[in-house]
Structure 1
Amino acid sequence: EEIFERGLIQTEALNYIRGRSIVKTYLIIDEAQNMTPNQVKGIITRAGKGTKIILLGDTNQIDRPMLDERTNGLSYASEYMKGSPLCWQVTFSPEECERSLLAMDAITRL
């Protein structure tokens, strides 16, 4: 709570990112699999000097009906930024899951 009060961490709605240049910031986008390609592009293209963007998500957990494993924003960014010297991609395997044994079993079965 204190870090929010001191302004060290801020949350923003997507609508408030438009038209801005975000500088010297670590921008963490969680649940990126539920964003459209245009939304992800809109965020990435706002990066100003010194900004790092981290997209987090799991394409097996998409819950928006108009998106799927290929058409979501996370997959879009992953595919089109692949090979860029400015980007890194990290993919975790089910064995690296930090959740319960039940969750790990469900990941492989469902």
Structure 2
Amino acid sequence: MTTTPMIAASIAAELTGTKITTDQIDGIIKSVARAMNSDQAGVKKRFNVLSTGERAVAAAILSRCDYSEQADKWSGGQFLQLLCRTSGAHLAAVLSLLNHEG
């Protein structure tokens, strides 16, 4: 069974185009924030090819990195609706990210 941090790390790796070497939420958030600071266009391009569930996790990661405006914009202005349509392991990852205190 895949754990929530592993799902988040896997999607963060797809989002950033780099290997994520941690499954700790804080490390995942920092990795994506660095990618957003250096290559926002590349992150957007990779965001657009994710599945719906993966996009919800990616949007939650972006939100935690203080990029919620981009998450909403890249989700077609449907960030909250995207989260509401998510279920299963992806929903668990989203909730874990949004509830993480760090």
Q: TM-score when scaled to structure 2?
A: 0.30
Computing the radius of gyration from Cα coordinates, the structure with the larger value is 1
Larger relative contact order (Cα-Cα within 8 Å, sequence gap ≥ 6)? 2
Q: TM-score when scaled to structure 1?
A: 0.28
Higher strand share: 1
Higher helix share: 2
